[in-house]
Amino acid sequence: MSQTASPKRLWHITPWKWLFSLKIGVTLLVVLAGVSIAGTLISPLDRALALVYYTAWYKSLLLLLALTMACATWRNLVEVVMPAFRDRFQKTEAAYRKRKPGAALRFEGSVADVATAFRAHGFRVALEGEFGYAWKGKIGRLGAPIAHLGLIGVLVSGFAAGMVAREGTVTVLEGEETRTLVIVPDFLAAGQIRDWKGFCQAVNRDRKDSSLNPGKQIWKMLGESSDPHGEDPSGLSHGQNLLLSLAGDEKVPYEYAGELAKELNNGVLARRDFYTPEAFKSVSLPTEAEKILAREDRTRTGDEMLRLNRLALEAAYPKWIKKSESVDLGFTIRCDDFRVSYHPRTKMPSEFVSTLSCPDTVPPIVGQTVEVNRSLTINGWTLHQTSYPEGPGMRFAVQVRDLKGPVDLEISPGQTRPVPGLDGAQLALEAQPPYAWTLTVPGQPEPFKGTLMGGAMGDRSSAPTAATASVPGAGAGFSIRAAQFEPDFVVQAGRKFGSRSQALNNPALCVALLQGGQEVSSSWVFGKPDMKDMMRNMMHQKESAWEFDLVRVTGEAPNYQMVVSAKKTGSTEAAREFTLTVGQEVALEAASPQATASASVAPTAPPATTASNSSDEPKVKLVGKVPAYYTILTLTRNPLIPVIYGGSVLMMFGLLLAFLVKRQEVWFWVRPGEKASLLVTAHYRLARDTFDRGTLGALRTLCPNEKFSSGEEAENGAE
């Protein structure tokens, strides 16, 4: 509103003009919307992130938007906002004649009369000679600059957070601990290969070479892996076909990459014989791989072999494969307990909670819980509960009695964990039978001791025995039972399954899968190929750790013998065949030492013994057995979160100021003399072309004979 010639600013200078241009700003908004739409059409999300949202050009667009907003805000502050607060009066006739809304009214009163009229309508008024300025809610002018500044803060801090923030996952089995934060896991995901086509072409090229090399090794192992899609006439396995498809010139769905990643994980990386010195002789391995190789082959764990294979693969194809990365957290996370509870009479979890301890933090963290929506912060890392796959082995559900009342908890063999509700009390359980326990209670000179079952103080005679002891290798290992066999399967009234005849027209077997003697699941398998296909799609088959098939049925009615093939879901090993009669149970796998140990505790067994020297002392009672879970936690560290939040708050405040504060500004000039008149012009939040109701009220008081038309009145009346 200044009448003096404004100085030349940066936005008047040609090379910089565009940065202050509205056209550029709006174009950027539209372009960003367009590319964001394109990004949402790319599936899966990690591919969209790699191709669009996490690319330098997308980030540049966002930064450019922030820059143009900063420039526009600067210009707006200098040209509009500051003058509105500083030069409050309009002193040229042109300002009144050209602007909308504007009016020239016949008026013989004084400037003080005008001020009084406006004050009566709730305006604040400033006067200078013949000029006046009336306003309401002028603070609203600051809304847009504040909102823009907030958004700039969010964009810039979000961009910076992309560089400084860290994120990874921690996977820990109940009762165990870890210090490793996995940033990029060893197992391949589709997003970990930068260019699938390039990678597959490189492997394909290598495998045709006469000498042994990593590509040849990959090809060979893909060929040995299972083929879920049946026999291929070309003799190639599913994995090999996928590799050739991805290496070819034809466009193939991105899902192929995900499938090949799975094949590489199961058929290549998970194998102990993928890395051989001959195949990788031309590859320079990193020190970490050398260290693993320095140890004897038989002493290497499965995880170490996976790590070695991954490092070897990365070293062989560094251009295409992202480096897997794990870092030391700097502190230990121990999962004391994991609990999942369900809404009654549903399979929907109501909550899943990890109880964690960090013994080496200062001060040590004991028994803190993490659950979805309730994170925990330790040493600058925020821990979020993500997932909970079932892990190997079982845990004991025990009850600690005679302290402050019974306390229920779960404990793994070999674990030491705090007792909930008893400050400082720790329960330790030995890793091997007879499972001696030690309960340390603060204030007690000596820890309490006993055995969970058997042992010197316990009652061996009442120690429970395995429910499936008759089955070799059962217990916590898997076994199957032929629960029901129907030679001529039919669905009868009441949705019961039966047989139309004793002839083998449509043989079907109900296979019950047992773990630790307890039925885990059951499913029907069919002999006829068309029934196999149909039922695979139509029956609601539960996800199971094992896959079964009815291979053939031998013998005479009613003493049929069923040959069932079984293999672990997702396993590359060939399916094993078992011959069963109805009601018979066979073990699928030998139990692990730990599993064998836990197999000696029957889940429905009556309470086992407690051991203590006197009845006043605390006792630990075995209640049952529960599966052990892995807890998967996402750990994040983003020091810029407060800045992002600050920018967001500023933006929201600015928007509320801009849109909710009803801003009305009116300038007037009372011209005395022969042609006494009142020149009025105004500016409103809605940038309307007509006077609003408040201004009209004041003007009608001053000039009762004038006729005013108000757009606001018309639109509100809407008649």
Partner 1 sequence: MRPPFAGFMSFFRPFLCVLLLIAVGVEAAPVGAATPIPLGREWDAALKPLATLPVQDTGFVRSALTYAQTRLMAISDKNAFEHRPALAVILPMMVDSEQAHSVALIKVEHPELGRIFGGKAISLNTFHKMDLYEKMGNLYREEESRLRRGEGTSGGGHNKYLKPINQIEDRADTIDKLAEDFAIIPAKDSWLSPAQLLQKLREGGQAPDAVDMQILQAWDDLCNAIRTNNPEAGAKAAESLRLRVFDAVAARQVALPKLRLDAFYQQLQPFKVSAFFYVFAALCYGGAMLFRQMGPLWRRLQWVGFAFLALGLASGVLGIGCRWILAGRAPLANMYESFTFATAGMVLVALVFEAIQRNRLAGFSAAVLGFVFMIVAHKLPIFDSKINPLMPALDSIWLNYHVVTIMLSYSAFALSFVVALAYLVKDSFGGDATRLAPLKRLPSLGSLDIFNYKVIAVGFPLLTIGIVLGAVWANTAWGRPWGFDPKETWSLITWLVYAAYLHVRFLAGWKGRRAAIIALIGFACVLFTYVGVNFLLPGLHSYA
Q: Output 82 or 660, the one with its CB closest to partner 1.
A: 660
d(CA 710, CA 700): 12
Query: Is residue 278 close enough to count as binding partner 1 by CB under 8 A?
Result: no
Residue found under tokens 């639109």 = 715
Return the residue of 26, 51, 63, 139 that touches partner 1, per CB under 8 A.
26
d(CA 184, CA 194): 13
Return the residue of 252, 655, 661, 676 that touches partner 1, per CB under 8 A.
655
CA distances, 66 to each of 51, 60, 112, 150, 643 (Å): 22, 10, 46, 10, 15
Q: How many residues does the chain have?
A: 719
Query: Which residues in 678-697 contact partner 1 (CB under 8 A)?
Result: 686-688
Query: Is residue 349 close enough to count as binding partner 1 by CB under 8 A?
Result: yes
The number of residues that bind partner 1 (CB under 8 A) is 73
Query: Is residue 163 close enough to count as binding partner 1 by CB under 8 A?
Result: no
Return the residue of 2, 6, 43, 110 that touches partner 1, per CB under 8 A.
43
Query: Is residue 667 close enough to count as binding partner 1 by CB under 8 A?
Result: no
Q: Judged by CB under 8 A, which stretch of 32-40, 281-289, 512-520, 565-573 contacts partner 1?
A: 32-40
Query: Is residue 182 close enough to count as binding partner 1 by CB under 8 A?
Result: no
Return the residue of 9, 12, 22, 281 that touches partner 1, per CB under 8 A.
22
Q: Output 293 or 655, the one with its CB closest to partner 1.
A: 655
Query: Which residues in 369-408 contact partner 1 (CB under 8 A)?
Result: 371-373, 375, 382, 384, 386
Q: Which amino acid is at 140?
A: G
Q: Output 158 or 458, the one with its CB closest to partner 1.
A: 158
Query: Which residues in 615-634 contact partner 1 (CB under 8 A)?
Result: 634
Q: Output 238 or 384, the one with its CB closest to partner 1.
A: 384
Give the dihedral sign, CA 685/691/693/697.
positive
- The residues, any chain, with a CB within 8 Å of residue 85's CB and separated by 6 or more, are 138, 141
Q: Output 97 or 693, the one with its CB closest to partner 1.
A: 693
CB of 133 to partner 1, least distance (A): 22
- The residues, any chain, with a CB within 8 Å of residue 514's CB and separated by 6 or more, are 468, 474, 478, 479, 480, 481, 520, 585
Instruction: List the strands of the sheet with 546-554, edge to edge.
Output: 546-554, 561-568, 576-580
What is the chain's Cα-based Rg?
A: 38
* Token couple for 161: 């957070």
Return the residue of 490, 563, 626, 632 that touches partner 1, per CB under 8 A.
490
Give 3-state DSSP helix, strand, coil % of the chain, rounded to 5. 35, 30, 35
Q: Judged by CB under 8 A, which stretch of 258-266, 595-603, 617-625, 646-654 contacts partner 1?
A: 646-654
Q: Is 245 exposed, middle or buried (0-12, 13-18, 19+ CB in 10 A)?
A: middle
SS3 51: helix
Query: Is residue 718 close enough to count as binding partner 1 by CB under 8 A?
Result: yes
Query: Which residues in 540-579 contact partner 1 (CB under 8 A)?
Result: 540
Query: Which residues in 139-158 contact partner 1 (CB under 8 A)?
Result: 158
Q: Judged by CB under 8 A, which stretch of 104-112, 282-290, 473-481, 526-534 contacts partner 1?
A: 526-534
d(CA 7, CA 307): 66
CA 118 to chain CA centroid, Å, is: 58
Query: Which residues in 280-299 contact partner 1 (CB under 8 A)?
Result: none
Query: Is residue 651 close enough to count as binding partner 1 by CB under 8 A?
Result: yes
Return the residue of 5, 56, 94, 491 that touches partner 1, per CB under 8 A.
491
* 67-92 core/surface letters (b: 16 or more CB in 10 A; e: else): bbbbbbbbbbbebebeebeeebbbee
Q: Output 307 or 621, the one with its CB closest to partner 1.
A: 621
Return the residue of 357, 415, 598, 638 that touches partner 1, per CB under 8 A.
638
CB of 134 to partner 1, least distance (A): 22
CB of 682 to partner 1, least distance (A): 15
* Token couple for 372: 């979805």
Query: Is residue 430 close enough to count as binding partner 1 by CB under 8 A?
Result: no
